[in-house]
Copies of this chain bind each other. A is one copy, B any other.
């Protein structure tokens, strides 16, 4: 997989900024009129994720009714940067992070597939890459209100100058997935149905394929269970028309609010006991295990020296580990665990 091979990618250290720039793109990326077909995808993808950040944050603040997002803007000297927004200790969410970033870097040539096809007597130099994405994790307080994660990203490598014939590469990745501590079937069905509808607009084969990919990806191998109840996930996607994939990613990002907020409205004020809270905390522990041990974005970010606070905002405010905890068979906790061990078709 590409993201594991670019672990030794080089990116510069970020600087805090006092103002949000109109764009994090370099001038050469086409926002000043010099629009090539591909730079135009960069431009439109950045606009898409920044719009999505605004609309998701607005919907979260409205549903929370109390908490406000704190914004941190950062940039890198050679171009690129990001906007981190975090709402902490709100009325509904204990921690909600919605980040966008635009990153320019260099990856070692061994990590670049097409470079290998070039003449073997030429030693290609490091390959410039471009990556832009929106990434969000929303952890509510109420144990009946589920955690949501979504992430949509676009990646490009420049054509290496010293390997004639090696093409510029690009791909899309992303997904939206739901992690409740307790199952309300109507919620999970609603969530998956919104994902399916978003997928179907581009290709009816997408939902079944990306639903399975999601179940496979969010697998905590050492536990033999998934982090949650899935949704959709895809990566390295480039075997479709680029415009089609851009509009697919846009549709997915726009589906986050209608997929999630109605569930939150129903669950945010449900009464709960200390036992419910303790189980939520144990599931949050699994969330931490998945993110720190397996998640590609997290492990890639930690190893390449990305902005740590933006990367680890995905971790819950609090988590819990009890030795050898086993829910009683047939209990609500057991039903959730069972669905994490044996993924179901929800629609």
Contacts and interface: CB of A to CB of B under 8 A. Distances in A.
A324 interface: yes
Contact of A302 (B95, B281, B293): B293
B281 A323 contact: no
Contact of A88 (B70, B95, B322): B322
Contacts of A319: 288, 318-321
Interface stretch (A27-35, A155-163, A200-208, A306-314): A306-314
Contact of A321 (B223, B289, B299, B312): B312
Interface string A85-111: 010100000010100000000000000
Interface residues of A, number: 34
Interface string A243-257: 000000000000000
Nearest to A87: B323
Dominant secondary structure of chain A at its interface with chain B = mixed
Contact of A222 (B223, B308, B322): B308
A318 B320 CA distance: 4
A63 interface: no
A315 interface: yes
A302 B222 contact: yes
Contacts of A293: 292-293, 299, 302
A180 interface: no
Interface string A290-303: 00110000010011
Contacts of A315: 285, 321
How many copies of this chain?
A: 2
Contacts of A317: 320-322
Contacts of A82: none
A72 interface: yes
Contacts of A289: 292, 312
Most buried by B among A302, A321, A324: A321
A303 B305 CA distance: 24
Nearest to A304: B222
Contacts of A95: 321, 323
Choose among A223, A281, A292, A319 the residue with the greatest number of B CB atoms under 10 Å from its CB.
A319
Nearest to A306: B222
Contacts of A221: 302
A70 to B, nearest CB: 8
Nearest to A222: B302
The 5 tightest CB contacts between A and B, nearest first, are A292-B292, A315-B321, A222-B302, A86-B323, A309-B324
8 contacts: A97-B323, A221-B302, A292-B293, A293-B293, A315-B321, A317-B322, A318-B320, A318-B321
